[in-house]
């Protein structure tokens, strides 16, 4: 694998602060081996009885999951005032999509296609978390994820490397600001390095087999962007890549991350991942696991206990050079200096909590509004003035905990505004009836459906809130069947028989397979768990106070068996131009009568909805691309300008995301049918037009060969400017050598 070279020029390590490095070396010279190992240990606060003594003895470097600011100060005081060298602790937490004010899950934030909103959400999360002593979060997750069976797709920015890159960098900026020493700054963590989103069969922690071109072109670019953005930490992934667990992968962690990308921050294992190399079958015991991880450059052992249990013996036996440990400790100390913890270790308990401030709630509402994707609308939405009585139905209509989604450990359900509460506030208590129909999303009982049908029959319009509870997505919550669970579909079918206008709002942690439900509904609004203010955002959208602008960050399949499915697929030698439906095949048909091309007899060739898709209450026209030249010179350095005119052709102000796609028509390796190269989200008033301009450079057209080396090949390219990955009329240009 050593042949891999990144397309972008290798980034040299940022100039180190000479004074800081001198302080690090001076401190390191004073440390015993046991104290050095202590800095490499991250323990969970659940072991509080023994933790306090271990901190005072210098055997703990960081603590995870303590959010009580008084306890944080007490433990910090043990480290700073009672340990021999007074080295402060770092307190860490999974602040994934908000702290107390919970924002949409990362997949939902990606659906906004608005990096500025994502940055603001991370900034607010950092302000709230740091007030409780949290100075390190394990976010952003920038695993490219193309299989919705994998529960952790909820934490990603979806299937495209560029979208993951843009959203990840925005989060890093929001968490860290431009000054990590700011008391409200939180160290970000690019995870999971690497390939975790490609777990076989969409099953968590599973193995991956990734050839170099796929790693270099799809998996690694978001991580390189994170390193270039100055992310403070990286986290190893649980999976092995081609048989090598990430926590012991020297090529990935040293050759790529450290040497080629110049990363000088902290590399932390995922929870127990070092010790789990025993389960992988590459280490016989904790000693072997610790040796692999240390030599790979993993600085911190998160709750694995291989470093504290085995590292000292490895040095004593001559198997591990203490200089290797010194380098790991330097990285940890450097992060603590950069965070300003030596100068400002404690939380000011006299300050009021910033959580749930009006500005934070307003930002959460805005993010939830822009994350919602209007998939279908026959004119039912927004609700008209003639709608006076609304029936709110479904298990997700009043689920204050579950609307927070996965990895929201600090959500306070009493602060969650549900759709039912928001709609009643907006339309009046008497005008909004409520019947869940089924008690929760997995409920198989049909007993509540008659009451829901009665409520629907008495209303002018029906809004049905379906989906999945928070616990059904996220880490270790994978699904082999992505259809709606329980009696939810039966509920919807019963509501449809009332003949009343019927809108369905989905609230889920992943793209579910909703082909049947989509066909029934008059309108479909799809949301990825929207957080604290999801209800208010949805009420604004349903009523027309806000206009949907979300776009799918993932391809939405018709059936689970289509996964993994993604827009940037290869064409194959037999791409389908037409398909034959399974039910239309006559008896005793000959083998070739259905066409010998690449499609499913029961699902066809297309998804339910393509990547990048999303409607609005207005309409937009995006012109075909206009190019500044018919050629792009490989060596001149002059970029190609691609522009289009976008016009709001409807009667409402709205936002459109203009997406730039490119296809390399002929390459040494087969190339994807489309690749996203840029996007811009703009707002237009009715009748207004705007010219949107992009630039393309030869570097953006590069890809990697089988040997891992970058290729920029002259030839014909097509380029689209469109509102989704399946639309638009392309223009053509030629990349030339000169």
* 3-state SS class at 688: coil
Q: d(Cα 62, Cα 303) in Å, to the nearest integer? A: 10
To which H or E segment does residue 280 belong?
Answer: helix 277-280
Q: Is 1 exposed, middle or buried (0-12, 13-18, 19+ CB in 10 A)?
A: middle
Identify the bridge partners of residue 710 per DSSP, sorted by sequence position: 704
Instruction: Check residue 126 and give left, alpha or beta (phi > 0: left; psi -120 to 50: alpha).
Output: alpha
Q: d(Cα 342, Cα 334) in Å, to the nearest integer? A: 11
Residue among 620, 415, 642, 627 at smallest CA distance from 534? 415
Q: How far from the centroid of its chain's Cα atoms is residue 430's Cα?
A: 40
Q: Taking a C-beta distance cutoff of 8 angstroms, is the pair 515, 543 a contact?
A: no
Q: d(Cα 141, Cα 734) in Å, to the nearest integer? A: 36
Q: Taking a C-beta distance cutoff of 8 angstroms, is the pair 714, 668 a contact?
A: no
Q: d(Cα 349, Cα 133) in Å, to the nearest integer? A: 10
User: Of the listed 147, 240, 270, 309, which one is catalytic?
Assistant: 270
Residue among 452, 434, 439 at smallest CA distance from 491? 452
Q: Taking a C-beta distance cutoff of 8 angstroms, is the pair 229, 503 a contact?
A: no
Q: Is 33 exposed, middle or buried (0-12, 13-18, 19+ CB in 10 A)?
A: middle
Return the number of other C-beta atoms located less than 10 Å from residue 666's C-beta: 11
Neighbour order of strands in the sheet with 62-64: 136-137, 90-93, 62-64, 41-44, 301-302
Planar angle of CA 122, 410, 527, nearest 5 degrees: 65
Q: d(Cα 694, Cα 625) in Å, to the nearest integer? A: 10
Return the number of other C-beta atoms located less than 10 Å from residue 326's C-beta: 16
Q: d(Cα 659, Cα 314) in Å, to the nearest integer? A: 53
Rg, Å, the chain Cα set: 27
Q: How far from the centroid of its chain's Cα atoms is residue 500's Cα?
A: 37
Q: Taking a C-beta distance cutoff of 8 angstroms, is the pair 172, 229 a contact?
A: yes
DSSP 325-344: HHHHHHHHHHHHHHTTTTT-
Q: d(Cα 326, Cα 324) in Å, to the nearest integer? A: 5
Q: Is 606 a catalytic residue?
A: no
Q: d(Cα 74, Cα 69) in Å, to the nearest integer? A: 9
* 3-state SS class at 632: strand
Q: d(Cα 553, Cα 527) in Å, to the nearest integer? A: 11
> What are the angstrom distances between the C-alpha of 153 and each of 216, 510, 554?
20, 7, 9
Q: Taking a C-beta distance cutoff of 8 angstroms, is the pair 632, 734 a contact?
A: yes
Q: Taking a C-beta distance cutoff of 8 angstroms, is the pair 608, 482 a contact?
A: no
Q: d(Cα 25, Cα 36) in Å, to the nearest integer? A: 12
To which H or E segment does residue 116 belong?
Answer: helix 115-130
Q: d(Cα 324, Cα 296) in Å, to the nearest integer? A: 10
Q: d(Cα 25, Cα 30) in Å, to the nearest integer? A: 9
Instruction: Check residue 98 and give left, alpha or beta (phi > 0: left; psi -120 to 50: alpha).
Output: left
DSSP 2-68: TT---SSPPPPPPPP-HHHHHHHHHHHHH--HHHHHHHTEEEEGGGHHHHHHHHHTT--SEEES---
The residues carrying an active-site annotation are 270
């Amino acid at each position: 694998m050593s042949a891999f070279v990144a397309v972008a020029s290798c980034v040299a390590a940022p100039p180190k602060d000479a004074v800081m490095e001198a302080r690090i070396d001076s401190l390191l010279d004073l440390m015993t081996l046991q104290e050095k190992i202590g800095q490499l240990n991250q323990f969970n606060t659940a072991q509080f009885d023994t933790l306090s003594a271990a901190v005072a003895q210098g055997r703990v470097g960081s603590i995870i999951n303590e959010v009580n600011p008084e306890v944080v100060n007490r433990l910090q005081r043990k480290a700073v005032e009672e340990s021999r060298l007074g080295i402060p602790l770092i307190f860490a937490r999974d602040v994934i999509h908000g702290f107390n004010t919970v924002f949409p899950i990362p997949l939902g934030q990606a659906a906004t296609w608005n990096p500025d909103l994502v940055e603001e959400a991370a900034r607010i999360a950092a302000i709230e978390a740091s007030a409780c002593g949290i100075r390190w979060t394990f976010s952003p997750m920038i695993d490219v994820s193309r299989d919705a069976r994998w529960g952790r797709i909820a934490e990603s920015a979806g299937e495209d490397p560029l979208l993951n890159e843009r959203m990840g960098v925005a989060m890093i900026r929001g968490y860290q600001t431009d000054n990590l020493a700011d008391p409200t700054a939180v160290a970000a963590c690019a995870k999971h390095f690497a390939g975790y989103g490609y777990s076989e069969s969409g099953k968590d922690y599973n193995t991956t087999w990734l050839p170099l071109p796929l790693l270099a072109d799809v998996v690694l670019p978001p991580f390189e962007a994170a390193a270039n953005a100055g992310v403070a930490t990286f986290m190893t992934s649980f999976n092995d890549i081609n048989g090598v667990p990430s926590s012991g992968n020297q090529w990935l962690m040293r050759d790529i991350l450290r040497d080629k990308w110049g990363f000088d921050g902290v590399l932390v294992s995922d929870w127990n991942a070092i010790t789990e190399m025993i389960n992988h079958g590459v280490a016989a015991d904790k000693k072997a696991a610790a040796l692999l991880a240390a030599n790979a450059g993993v600085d911190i052992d998160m709750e694995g206990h291989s470093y504290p249990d085995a590292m000292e013996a490895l040095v004593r036996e001559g198997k591990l050079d203490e200089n290797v440990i010194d380098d790991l400790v330097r990285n940890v100390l450097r992060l603590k200096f950069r965070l300003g913890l030596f100068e400002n270790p404690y939380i000011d308990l006299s300050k009021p909590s910033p959580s749930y401030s009006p500005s934070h709630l307003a930002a959460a509402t805005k993010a939830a509004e822009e994350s919602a994707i209007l998939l279908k609308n026959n004119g039912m939405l927004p609700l008209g003035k003639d709608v006076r009585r609304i029936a709110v139905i479904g298990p997700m209509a009043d689920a204050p905990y579950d609307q927070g989604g996965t990895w929201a450990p600090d959500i306070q359900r009493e602060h969650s505004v549900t759709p039912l509460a928001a709609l009643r506030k907006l339309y009046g208590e008497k005008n909004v009836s409520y019947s869940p129909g089924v008690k929760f999303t997995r409920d198989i009982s049909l007993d509540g459906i008659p009451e829901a049908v009665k409520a629907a029959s008495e209303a002018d319009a029906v809004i049905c809130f379906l989906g999945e509870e928070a616990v059904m997505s996220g880490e270790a919550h994978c699904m082999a069947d992505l259809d709606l669970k329980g009696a939810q579909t039966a509920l919807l079918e019963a509501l449809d028989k009332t003949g009343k206008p019927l809108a369905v709002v989905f609230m889920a942690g992943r793209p579910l397979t909703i082909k049947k439900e989509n066909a029934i509904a008059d309108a479909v609004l799809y949301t990825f768990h929207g957080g604290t203010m999801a209800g208010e955002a949805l009420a604004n959208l349903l009523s027309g106070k806000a206009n949907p602008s979300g776009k799918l960050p993932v391809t939405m399949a018709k059936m689970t068996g289509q996964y993994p499915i993604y827009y940037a697929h290869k064409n194959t030698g037999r791409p389908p131009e037409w398909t034959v439906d399974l039910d239309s095949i006559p008896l005793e048909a000959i083998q070739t009568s259905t066409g010998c091309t690449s499609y499913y007899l029961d699902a066809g060739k297309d998804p339910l909805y393509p990547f990048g898709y999303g409607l609005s209450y207005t309409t937009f026209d995006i012109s075909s691309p206009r190019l500044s030249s018919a050629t792009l010179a490989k060596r001149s350095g002059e970029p190609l300008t691609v522009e289009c005119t976008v016009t709001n052709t409807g009667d409402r102000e709205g936002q459109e995301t203009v997406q730039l796609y490119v296809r390399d028509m002929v390459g040494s390796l087969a190339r994807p049918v489309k690749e996203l190269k840029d996007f811009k989200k703009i707002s237009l008033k009715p009748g207004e037009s705007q010219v949107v301009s992009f630039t393309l450079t030869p570097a953006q057209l590069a890809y990697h060969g089988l040997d891992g080396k970058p290729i920029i090949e002259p030839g014909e390219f097509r380029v689209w400017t469109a509102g989704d990955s399946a639309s638009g009329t392309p223009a053509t240009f030629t990349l030339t050598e000169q």
